[in-house]
Amino acid sequence: MANTHRTALLGCAVALLGALTACGAGGGGTAAPVSSPTATATARETAPPGSATASATGAAPGDRQPSRSPSGAVPGDTAGSASASGRTDGRCRTADLRASVGRVDAGAGQRNVPVVLTNTSARTCTLYGYPGAAFVDGAGRQLGPDPVRETASPRTVSLAPGRSAWAALSFAAPQVSGARAAEPAALLVTPPDERAALEVPWQGGEVPVGGNESAVSLTVLAPGTGP
């Protein structure tokens, strides 16, 4: 029995020596580790998307987080962008409005014309104070001086979409006053606190542009489209 036991141990030693020799074959290289399916699956589940481990373990491209681009700048105040510009002051911008001229009231040698601003945007906005106004010829050159502002206390006019505000443009009839006259091609109307003007074709005849009694006056804005 002792001899048999020694023979079995010797056989195991020879087998183990052969296995070690086989692992060292090929110039002393070490054997590559064998990954178990369980370890590979665990690496795939725990590796962060987009990492080297995730790529090596076969993570799907859809697992990667999308890159974020820097926040864009707020659009400038170009025409048509007022609603998309992010401002919160509530003021009516030129791009929010349409200008028109009401019926000319020719009474007692005086001409009174309602200058109307209508909110064409989808938001409620406000007007405060006086509009700007200037008569121009067909080439866009101004005719006569700027209107004189009549003394008054301005108030804020809130315009819901589609609503209007108006100011009275007044001047003495040139035929009565004797002032030098010209017939404008258009009236430029600038909303309060704005720089861009709205052009309205002028069909009210001659206006005073120089000499005595050539002053044109303008009132503050009030709700509505005229008296």
State yes or no: pLDDT of 121 exceeds 80: yes
At residue 195 the predicted structure's pLDDT band, cuts being 50, 70 and 90, is very high
Q: Determine the average pLDDT of the residues in 108-129.
A: 95
Residues 6+ positions from 117 with CB-CB distance below 8 Å: 92, 97, 98, 99, 127, 131, 159, 164, 165, 166, 189, 191, 198, 221
Q: Determine the average pLDDT of the residues in 113-119.
A: 97
* 64 torsion bin: left (phi>0), alpha (psi -120 to 50), beta (else): beta
Give the model's pLDDT for residue 177: 86
CATH class of 94-223: mainly beta
Q: Determine the average pLDDT of the residues in 173-195.
A: 93
First to last CA, the chain: 131
pTM of the model: 0.61
Greater pLDDT, 48 or 120:
120
Give the model's pLDDT for residue 175: 84
Give the model's pLDDT for residue 63: 34
State yes or no: pLDDT of 172 exceeds 60: yes
Residues 6+ positions from 47 with CB-CB distance below 8 Å: 53, 54, 57, 59
Per residue in 80-104, pLDDT (tens digit) is: 323 333 444 799 999 999 999 998 8
